[in-house]
Structure 1
Amino acid sequence: MRIYFETYGCALNKGDTYSMMTLLKERNHEIVGDPGDADVLVINTCAVRMETEEKMKKRIKELREMGKKLIVAGCLAGAEPGLVNSLAPEASLVGPQSLEEIASAVESKTKVISLAGKSPQILPRVFDGLISVVPIADGCAGSCNFCITKLARKNLRSYPLRAIVSTVRELVNRGAKEIELSGQDTAAYGLDLEGKVSLPQVVNEVTSVDGDFMVRVGMMTPELAWRVLDGIIEAWSHPKVYKFFHIPVQSGNDEVLRVMNRKYRVEEFKELVKELRRKFPLSNITTDIIIGHPGEDEEAFQDTLNLIRELRFERIHIAMYSLRPNTRSAMMQQVPGPEKKERLRRAIELYEKVSHEVHREYVGKTFRVLALEKGKGNSIIGRTINYIPVILQGVELGKWYDVKITDSSFFDLRGEVL
């Protein structure tokens, strides 16, 4: 059969689509790039925010109107199957931890619903030019009150270390220059394997693969990063590892963290950041912050702003709290919308000011930069050892350059090749 895929959301979702495509190709199905050419339409959905869900609902309706067999996969199918069923009663549902059932859903003459997780049969990966994403685990060990993804990816499932290393070796041989090890919480890796292997061991094994490439490790929660901190410091010391740490704090106030059901205090987060910066003075600490979560009053919000001022993060993903169905946070007293919007404006304004100040400190200095992506016009985007983007001109993709930083913005640096 001819099958069309449409994918939304994070790197995990993109990897899941690759896995489903691989499983179907092994059964001699054909993947097509136009829904008009397809016998079966598969939409791999995201549900992380309310506006994203609305987009998914609209798109499911549009695909249904094409009158073809429809399969709704991904987090919306896993977290809100009743909603999906109301939108497209005849559509099959495949949850993000039931990818191995995609062939059954495609080939069955009747509706298939498969939402329960099993042991993964294939390792997802995304190969996109010089950058490859390799998820190392699916699901997480946490239970944050605001998170709908936990309803879709209920169980932590770590992929076998041997499969991860084999996949990285294959991607490097195909020309990958950056390997991103991703997951909802990379520091949770191995907890479901009786603690026999952990994230630092994954990084050590991956960096032992022959080739000229860099490793970027994705998001990790503060409490689990602390658990393997000594190993992280040792593994990140390898020259192939970007000195980049994505550690979401979510709030600068302990009471809001308690309401969120986060498993650390603000002081513990601060100590973690300071320890990483002691060991890696050039480290890039990127974080996530939710503005307007239930329990956040003006004083708690000021605590978050003060944390931004104190720790001077290189990058912050700031989002206004989005109420998600079937989560504990949705049942709490909500912060009024206008207050959330005003706080979001103030937080972004401060972030841009601080980030611009941080990046201005790079101007006049020289860094080794790996050219990785095409930018606007004829520009090329490179990355420093701590993963700060540098806009370059007249360079070749996939090569290293000595670059003098000539200018900066809150988002990136501008460089001149020496």
Structure 2
Amino acid sequence: MKVYFETYGCALNKGDTYIMMTLIKDRGHEVTGSQEDADVIVINTCDVRLETGERMKRRIRQLSNTGKKLVVAGCFSGAEPAVVRSIAPNASILGPQAISKIVEAVESQERKVYLSSDQPVYTPRIAEGKIGVIPVADGCAGDCNFCITKLARSKLRSYPLRKIVESAKALVSQGVVEIEITGQDAAAYGLDYGGKITLADVVKEVSEVEGEFMIRVGMMTPEQALRILDDLLEAYKSPKVYKFFHLPVQSGDDGVLKAMNRKYTVDEYKELVREIRRKIPLANITTDIIVGHPGEDEGAFQNTLDLVKEIRFEKMHIAIYSLRPNTKSSSMPQIPDKVKTERLKRINSLYEEIARQNHSEYLGKVSKVVVTEEGKGNTKIGRTVNYIPVILEDVELGKWYNVKITDFSFYDVRGIVI
């Protein structure tokens, strides 16, 4: 059969899709890029925010009316399976911790529902373009009050290190030059193995794979990063590892962090960043911030602004808090939308100001850059050793260049090959 995949959401979801593609191909089916040519459509969904969930509902409804067999996979199907059934009663449902059942869901003549699976965990041997994604763990060790993903990915499952390394070798042999090591919380890797093996071991082993490529470590919760920090920073010394740390702080106020059920304080987060920057001065500290979570009064929001000013994050993913069903935060007293919108404008303005200042420091400097993606028009996107995006012309995907930075914006920098 010909199977078409449509993927939404984070890098972990992309990695899950590549795992499903690998299993489908191993079974002898064909992965097609055309919805029209497909016998089966698989939509790998996201449910992280309210508007995302609404978008998933619309798209599932559209695909259910194509007359083709439909499999709804991912976090929306795992967290809200009853909603999926009401929208697409004939669709098979595959939770994100049941992706190993994709072959059964595709081949069955009947509607199938798998929300979890005890089958062995697989890793991908497929990539699209020059970036490969390898999930190293599914689920997390936290229990944040705002998070619906925890309902879909309730169990922490670390993938065998041997399988991860095999995937890396397979992807590099296909010409991949960037490997994203990803997970719902990459730093939680190995907790279900009793902590005898950690993310640091994964980074070290993958960096020893032969070939010219870079490793991008995905999102890590601050408390789990702190747990393994010394070993992790040692692994980051490899020239194959981007000096990039995605450490969501979510709020700069301890009271809000407690309401969120985050497992660290603001001072602990600051100490984490200080230690990273002390040992890796080039480190790119990227974060996530939620504006308007219950409990965030004006003073708490000002504490977040102060933290942003102090740390001067290289990149920030900022979102207004949105209600998610069956989460504890949704039952707390809510902040008015008007207040949340006004705060979003203020923090976005601050972020753009700081990002421009950060990027201005690259002006005139020369960096080694690997080209990983297509850009807009005739441009391509490369990455510096600390994962700053560089817009380039007249370059080839997958190649390394020495680049002089000639311009900048709050989002990226531009350069010319020298």
Q: Provide the TM-score with structure 2 as the length reference.
A: 0.96
1:371, CA displacement in angstroms?
Answer: 2.3
1:366, CA displacement in angstroms?
Answer: 2.1
Give yes or no for contact 2:100–2:119 (8 Å, CA) kept in 1.
no
1:125, CA displacement in angstroms?
Answer: 5.7
| Distance (Å, rounded) in 2 between the aligned partners of 1:7 and 1:393 | 29
| Distance (Å, rounded) in 2 between the aligned partners of 1:206 and 1:126 | 17
Which residue of the partner structure matches residue 364 of structure 1?
364
Distance 1:145 1:137, change over 3 A: same
Which residue of the partner structure matches residue 309 of structure 2?
309
1:74, CA displacement in angstroms?
Answer: 1.0
| Distance (Å, rounded) in 1 between the aligned partners of 2:34 and 2:415 | 40
Report percent identity of matched pairs: 63
| Distance (Å, rounded) in 2 between the aligned partners of 1:329 and 1:269 | 22
1:211, CA displacement in angstroms?
Answer: 1.1
Distance 1:25 1:171, change over 3 A: closer
Distance 1:31 1:391, change over 3 A: closer
In the alignment, structure 1 residue 346 sits paired with structure 2 residue 331: no
What are the superposed Cα offsets for residues 352-375 of structure 1, whole Å, 9 maximum, x if unpaired?
A: 001111111111222222222222
Letter in 2 for 1:51: E
Which residue of the partner structure matches residue 392 of structure 1?
392
Give yes or no for contact 2:125–2:171 (8 Å, CA) kept in 1.
no
What are the superposed Cα offsets for residues 251-286 of structure 1, whole Å, 9 maximum, x if unpaired?
A: 000000000000000000001001111111111000
Distance 1:294 1:120, change over 3 A: farther
Distance 1:378 1:303, change over 3 A: same
Which residue of the partner structure matches residue 164 of structure 2?
164
1:68, CA displacement in angstroms?
Answer: 3.0
Q: Provide the TM-score with structure 1 as the length reference.
A: 0.96
1:395, CA displacement in angstroms?
Answer: 2.7
Distance 1:403 1:109, change over 3 A: closer
1:383, CA displacement in angstroms?
Answer: 1.2
Which residue of the partner structure matches residue 265 of structure 1?
265
Letter in 1 for 2:99: L
What are the superposed Cα offsets for residues 356-402 of structure 1, whole Å, 9 maximum, x if unpaired?
A: 11111111222222222222222222211111111223333323222
1:52, CA displacement in angstroms?
Answer: 1.0
Distance 1:364 1:29, change over 3 A: closer
| Distance (Å, rounded) in 2 between the aligned partners of 1:35 and 1:245 | 36
The SS at the match of 1:95 is strand
| Distance (Å, rounded) in 2 between the aligned partners of 1:29 and 1:262 | 43
- The runs of 5 or more residues in structure 1 that have no matched partner are none
Letter in 1 for 2:196: K
| Distance (Å, rounded) in 1 between the aligned partners of 2:313 and 2:369 | 21
| Distance (Å, rounded) in 1 between the aligned partners of 2:93 and 2:383 | 40
Distance 1:400 1:57, change over 3 A: same
In the alignment, structure 1 residue 38 sits paired with structure 2 residue 38: yes
What are the superposed Cα offsets for residues 319-349 of structure 1, whole Å, 9 maximum, x if unpaired?
A: 1111111111111111100111110011100
Give the paired residue count: 418
The SS at the match of 1:401 is strand
Which residue of the partner structure matches residue 18 of structure 1?
18
Distance 1:369 1:103, change over 3 A: closer
| Distance (Å, rounded) in 1 between the aligned partners of 2:351 and 2:123 | 37
| Distance (Å, rounded) in 2 between the aligned partners of 1:80 and 1:181 | 27
| Distance (Å, rounded) in 2 between the aligned partners of 1:373 and 1:330 | 38
Which residue of the partner structure matches residue 401 of structure 2?
401
The SS at the match of 1:36 is coil
Give yes or no for contact 1:125–1:133 (8 Å, CA) kept in 2.
no
Which residue of the partner structure matches residue 52 of structure 2?
52
1:128, CA displacement in angstroms?
Answer: 2.4
Taking only aligned residues, the RMSD between alpha carbons, in angstroms, comes to 1.5
In the alignment, structure 1 residue 283 sits paired with structure 2 residue 283: yes
The farther-off stretch of 368-377 and 186-195 is 368-377
Alignment of 1:224-303 (within 5 A): 224-303=224-303
Letter in 2 for 1:299: G
Alignment of 1:61-76 (within 5 A): 61-76=61-76
Distance 1:62 1:357, change over 3 A: same
Which residue of the partner structure matches residue 328 of structure 2?
328
Give yes or no for contact 1:252–1:304 (8 Å, CA) kept in 2.
yes
- The runs of 5 or more residues in structure 2 that have no matched partner are none
Distance 1:354 1:61, change over 3 A: same
The SS at the match of 1:96 is strand
| Distance (Å, rounded) in 1 between the aligned partners of 2:19 and 2:371 | 28
Letter in 1 for 2:212: D
Letter in 1 for 2:404: K
Alignment of 1:70-219 (within 5 A): 70-124=70-124, 127-219=127-219
What are the superposed Cα offsets for residues 276-329 of structure 1, whole Å, 9 maximum, x if unpaired?
A: 111111110000000011111111000000011000000000111111111111
List, as ranges, runs of 4+ consecutive aligned residues in structure 1 with deviation greater than 4 Å.
Answer: none
What are the superposed Cα offsets for residues 50-98 of structure 1, whole Å, 9 maximum, x if unpaired?
A: 1111111111111222233322111111001111111122222111111
The SS at the match of 2:324 is coil
Give yes or no for contact 2:101–2:117 (8 Å, CA) kept in 1.
no
| Distance (Å, rounded) in 2 between the aligned partners of 1:387 and 1:399 | 15
| Distance (Å, rounded) in 2 between the aligned partners of 1:381 and 1:30 | 30
Give yes or no for contact 1:117–1:155 (8 Å, CA) kept in 2.
no
| Distance (Å, rounded) in 1 between the aligned partners of 2:174 and 2:68 | 36
Letter in 2 for 1:189: Y
Which residue of the partner structure matches residue 2 of structure 2?
2
Letter in 2 for 1:46: C
1:118, CA displacement in angstroms?
Answer: 2.3
